[in-house]
Amino acid sequence: MEAVVIILLSTINILLFLYSSTSTSAIPISTKKTYIVHMKHHLKPPSFSTHHQWYKTHLQSLTSSTQNSLLYTYTTAYHGFAASLDSHEVELLRQSDFVVNIYEDTFYTPQTTRTPEFLGLDKLDFGAGRTLPEFNTAAQDVIIGVLDSGVWPESESFSDLGMSNVPSRWRGKCQSAPDFDPKVHCNRKLIGALYFSEGCKGCSQEIQSPRDHDGHGTHTASTAAGSIVANASLFGYAKGTARGMAPQARIASYKVCWNEQCAGSDILAAFDHAIMDGVDVLSVSLSNNEKTYYTDPIALGSFAAMEKGIVVSCSAGNDGPVESTVVNTAPWVITVGAATLDRDFPATVTLGNGQNLQGVSLYSGKVEMGNKLLSLVYQQGGNSSLCFRGSLDPNIVGGKVVLCDRGGNDRVAKGLVVKEANGVGMILANTPETGEELLADSHILPAVTVGRKVGDVIREYVKTENNPTVVFSFGGTVVKVKPSPVVVTFSSRGPNAIVPQILKPDVIGPGVNILAAWPRNIGPTSLNIDTRRTSFNIVSGTSMSCPHVSGVAALVKAVHPEWSPSAIKSAIMTTAYIQDNTNSSFHDSALYGTFSNPFVHGSGHVNPQKAFSPGLVYNIRIQDHIKFLCSLNYTIDEIQSIVKRLNFTCANKFADAGQINYPSFSVLFEINSKQVVRYTREVTNVGAASSVYEVAIDAPPSVTVTVKPTKLVFKKVGEKLHYTVTFVSKKDVKPGNAFGWISWNNAKHEVRSPVAYSWMTPQLDLET
């Protein structure tokens, strides 16, 4: 939709400026790259009927090339365009009065059954007297858009059996390609399938098509909203009924990833289309390490989506356990970390000395070793211990089981390296970096993954035993594993590197050993040598936890279609649980015996049943987001690139970014300086009329917390009330972190907000 514009300069003046700029001297030839250009949208000359025409003419006047360099015109998610430009053209654009800024395109990467039962989705109570058929009807009106690597439409998970007609408000389509026929491959379940590749032309040799040739997109889409499929499994593992979180919801696939590379320009174009198409929820299991929101296509696109009432769920990243690695941290998205299920795939490693050690495995082929003990070898030093390509000597490892350290290359690639060196089996042992996290893989040879402690036992055994031997046994699938959930090592952690006053991640969800749909043209390891084929695969990552929460957001949207994205996000956060199935605080697999904290698990683990009825919600207005952005000391142009507004100022900006009406708290103290922090929050009653809530506080000894008032009395539904919380640090606290919570409770609801406290040394302003 084009904006109404006002212009003071004529088209002739624009072209004269560009002509004079390009005709002064010979232009050296340079390599073209993709750039995203932020334009002064409101200055479009009236002689151009569309912004697309204006941008195209603008670009053509810069170059003598007959090739169109304009890749995308953004109309909803952003004010500007993407183009293929050389360095000289970039400089000419920078000189234009109509260009705000230019950013080089960046690349993002994917962040790579029993889950519904684990989340309680098989026993949902929809409240308000709503029946299951009524809920299913409402859920079919919810559309989940998935930005990923495409979709495998033939999967049973995308069957439209029993589904009603596509909602009349849907404006999207399915794109035709040599291997994708919209009339055949789209239906009442898969209602949209587009691809975006202009920013990633050299990334892959794939056919330009919405079809998934990677597996990631099919897996995430079916996790969010896959149809019910009986007898699903990976070669017998995790056998049962597979279904997405919102199996009645519609799916629209937006392919932006090619050979695991996802261009920011393509992502922004997909957001643009998804918003115009009419999706209700967007699931984005992609990330990079952008340091500002105004240069991050996901942050830009998700803000525009949020303005249109679309909930955006994003993966937190797979760079744990390192601190401050969490990504997709904008306060207008739901940032999702990963945890385990109560399902496991046990395998036993029996050493020659009789020790039985536990690990996990998804190996399903012939176990050539049988019950026979085989020699075990561990080539220490350099790349050999990591089992890199070419690092193993077949003369040493041939016919033996190889112990490989985790890290450095893909887990399944290590199995291939062992197999190519004529090894007959592999033990994949965690290191200090990966701790006790156990990720099961369907290796191409008999293999068992073990944690760090077990790995150290095996390493010591190989080191001290003259003739080390080993044998494997595989235990299939077990459920009701305790403790669970456990936060996994790879899940990225806070504090938030961009805005430490915003606690991220927001929540955690199932992200380990997740069974979901898989393309039939790819083996479960995705290795070229893997000729096995399966309709379902088991994969781990925050890429898997993200669509779980996307699906839950769709369910909440179905029950409460009038709620804003911030209300839905608040409901998911404040009702999350923080104890495992042994009634203990969550454990962190990064270090044996340690507990997780809100920098790792955010508000807690998503709880769909309670999210339907949170009692209170924290709504965030668009104006509050603008005040938040102003508090980051962004320039007006930089803020405009996000909010796409002209009529705002930063005169009333937040003094502290933490003043935004967020459902969690991240409190920063400066040692010997700032020791008092005060925030006011507004809560909206979405429960019953005449509801009364009383505050409960859990705080560390180093902080005094006061909340006023201590009681909230709501007379009617939709009423808004405020409370102010004051955090006072004790003296002489050393740098570090502590945690607690604030909760508003009554007989029916517990509306809990985690609080993270950080003590930092004041930053000195040095004159230069």
Residues with active-site annotation: 148, 216, 543
Contact criterion met (CB below 8 Å) for 1 and 42: no
d(CA 306, CA 312): 7
d(CA 640, CA 513): 42
- Sequence-separated (6 or more) residues with CB below 8 Å from residue 599: 323, 493, 494, 495, 503, 737, 739, 756
Q: Which two tokens stand for residue 547?
A: 């669509």
- Provide φ and ψ at 336, rounded to 5°: -115, 120
Q: Which two tokens stand for residue 449?
A: 């993954």
Contact criterion met (CB below 8 Å) for 241 and 233: no
Give 449's Cβ-side CA count (13 Å radius).
25
d(CA 660, CA 681): 8
* DSSP code string of 671-695: TTS--EEEEEEEEEE-S-SSEEEEE
d(CA 452, CA 432): 6
- Sequence-separated (6 or more) residues with CB below 8 Å from residue 98: 14, 39, 40, 43, 58
How would you classify the pairing of strands 665-670 and 346-351?
unpaired
Q: To which residue do tokens 């967020």 refer?
A: 662
Contact criterion met (CB below 8 Å) for 596 and 588: yes
- Sequence-separated (6 or more) residues with CB below 8 Å from residue 251: 143, 144, 146, 151, 158, 189, 190, 191, 192, 221, 224, 225
- Sequence-separated (6 or more) residues with CB below 8 Å from residue 396: 377, 379
